[in-house]
Structure 1
Amino acid sequence: MDLEPIFLTPVFQERIWGGTKLAERFGYDIPSSQTGECWAVSAHPHGQTVVARGPFAGMTLGQLWEERRDLFGHFPSDRFPLLTKILDANADLSVQVHPDDEYAKTHEGGELGKTECWYIIDCKPGAKLIYGHYAETKGELRAMMEAGEWDRLLRKVPIRPGDFFYVPSGTIHALCEGTLVLETQQSSDTTYRVYDYDRVDSQGRRRELHLDKAIDVTTVPHRDIDIRPHVAEFPGATVTTFVEGDYFGVQKWDVRGAFESEQAKPFLIVSILEGEGELVRKGQTYLLRRGDHFILPHQFGRFTIRGSLQAIASWPRKGK
């Protein structure tokens, strides 16, 4: 059986801060007007994507990982290592921080830590996000949190479509209203909520905060990560490499014609954000359109993408 792209059917998560842009922008059939997350490529038990077609149709990504590890280059991990999402921040997300692998393993029943990154697909004019803080010591961090001095504590950064942010574990962060983001992250659902704007749910209850754990894991003082994207021109495409970090690498492909490449990673995750086209390999053609997500398996080899489209590609790295 020859190798094929593994197209996946997303899973949607409703959130208090969600909206309708996942339907409006990508044509997804979302469950409600408060749909905040599209889990596009996921083997996490809180939301498994399913193979949409081809020889593995109907299998969850987790099943495929367990039964056909060769498709993923026998990548050395006890679970599928990455999770790709699209987030519709129709309202401000809670301010939060994620643990690293060691802390999560000890305190969260063997869950992975969570280093992630964001590609800003779209945002309203003047949009910002929260990235980091101004505390100099853990004591100062706790005092400012307990006093509710959020304006003094939280660092706000202006954003534009096309921006990229690398968010290592230990970084206080939050997306803000009017932002549409593609997120690449470790396969983890562990979040320590620091502040939620005193919002209440449909039953009038405030969401739980996790201040002690958040203070434990927050990097103090905040450290910016120096991200210097590398732009390379190829016939038919511009490829921007944003990061090759401890857990993943991420690129943007701006295709304008015929772009020939080779899949030489353990596996490659691709999300089509704009436009349409086709992927051609060994005489087989696969149509691509905005909102598609697929995996190019190990030893997929050379392929060509034709059309006019923008995609984000990611791959796993071995970690610390």
Structure 2
Amino acid sequence: MKDILLLEPVFKEKVWGGKKLKELFGFPIPSDQTGECWGISGHVNGTNKVVNGPFEGKTVRQLWEENRELFAEEEGEEFPLLVKIIDAQDDLSVQVHPDDKYAKEHEGYEFGKTECWYILDSEPGAELVVGHNAESRDELKEMVDEEKWEELFRRVPVQQGDFVYVPSGTVHAIGKGILLLEVQQSSDITYRFYDYNRPGQDGKLRELHIEESIACSMVPHEDPALDRPSWEEDGLKVERLIKEEYFTVHKWSLKKQGDTLKRLNSSYQLVSVIEGSAKVQTEEAVHLVKQGDHFIIPSTVDSYEISGDVTIIVSESTK
């Protein structure tokens, strides 16, 4: 297999979702309350099908189980990363995710959930919740018990092009009017602190997980130090957004139509096209990709070329 794996997206309807995934990317969303596009996933709750080549019709989950050579023989029971596009028409719940240790002990799952966000678009005044103001776990519990939500949560304004790192244990929420690309550990474990007394799609109040949220939260909150080095390589602008325990994420920008990126490949890469379009050429085929497309460059591809006027997010597992 010397070609890329083009993927069919998986959509998730959410009470806070909207229709930007259709308006901006042309996705065939199931309703006007579609909150998430799972672009690259091997998770049991939603795994993508391959739409080209000899593995057409197989899922990423199946390939991870049956064709590990595509992923540099990386170890682990679960495909390690999940890449999403999130459309927040309304505020998401304020939540926290466990680390690996807590997830294994309490949920029986391999991964906790560390994630990061690249802001694709935001309405004026849009904000995230990132962190809290409690100095101790006792103070955190007291402020939650007394429902001092406005005093407790730290709000951060964002705009297009911002990048936010959200390690496990970070109290957080995506605010309304934000469209973002999320790269995360392949986990669907979420503990809700607060949900605005909002009914879910079934008309009932959504479950909160106060005890688990307090147990998992980083106390006191600390903002991670971020370094975003950038450089140019033969017409390609490269920006490293994050390099940490679970993943490395880069933004690659080809400046103009006709620019070509040539790459040797040693591992596998998860690619999300966030702007423009491009031609991807491997040893076996040529593909045209556009904004919203997601694909995997497997480790069996020795080299490839990308040409066009395009911006992509490239994610790699660092487990």
TM-score, normalising length from structure 2?
0.97
Aligned to 1:145: 144
4+ aligned runs moved over 4 Å, structure 1: none
Q: What SS does structure 2 have at the residue aligned with 1:76? A: coil
Distance 1:263 1:5 in 2: 14
Q: What SS does structure 1 have at the residue aligned with 2:46? A: coil
Q: What SS does structure 2 have at the residue aligned with 1:102? A: helix
**1:17 positional shift:** 0.2
Aligned to 1:179: 178
Aligned to 2:2: 3
Query: Percent of aligned pairs with the same residue?
Result: 48
Q: Which amino acid aligns with 2:213?
A: A
**1:32 positional shift:** 0.3
Structure-to-structure mapping, 1:89-238, within 5 angstroms: 89-238=88-237
1:243 and 2:253 equivalent?
no
Aligned to 1:258: 259
Aligned to 1:276: 277
**1:38 positional shift:** 0.4
Q: What SS does structure 2 have at the residue aligned with 1:39? A: strand
Distance 2:264 2:162 in 1: 25
8 Å CA contact 1:126–1:158 kept in 2: the answer is yes
Q: What SS does structure 2 have at the residue aligned with 1:260? A: strand
Distance 2:262 2:190 in 1: 37
8 Å CA contact 1:266–1:316 kept in 2: the answer is no
Q: 1:299 to 1:55 in 2, by over 3 A?
A: closer
Q: What SS does structure 2 have at the residue aligned with 1:77? A: coil
Unaligned runs of 5+ in 2: none
RMSD between superposed Cα atoms in Å:
1.2
**1:258 positional shift:** 2.3
Distance 2:159 2:87 in 1: 15
- Range 161-170 or range 265-274, more displaced: 265-274
Distance 1:70 1:251 in 2: 24
Q: Which amino acid aligns with 1:135?
A: A
Distance 2:229 2:314 in 1: 14
Unaligned runs of 5+ in 1: none
Distance 1:300 1:119 in 2: 27
Aligned to 1:82: 81
8 Å CA contact 2:242–2:249 kept in 1: the answer is yes
Aligned to 1:292: 293
Aligned to 2:65: 66
TM-score, normalising length from structure 1?
0.96
Q: 1:137 to 1:170 in 2, by over 3 A?
A: same
Aligned to 1:15: 14
8 Å CA contact 1:101–1:113 kept in 2: the answer is yes
8 Å CA contact 1:111–1:190 kept in 2: the answer is no
Q: What SS does structure 2 have at the residue aligned with 1:122? A: strand
Q: 1:26 to 1:263 in 2, by over 3 A?
A: farther
Q: What SS does structure 2 have at the residue aligned with 1:120? A: strand
**1:202 positional shift:** 4.4
- Range 293-302 or range 212-221, more displaced: 293-302
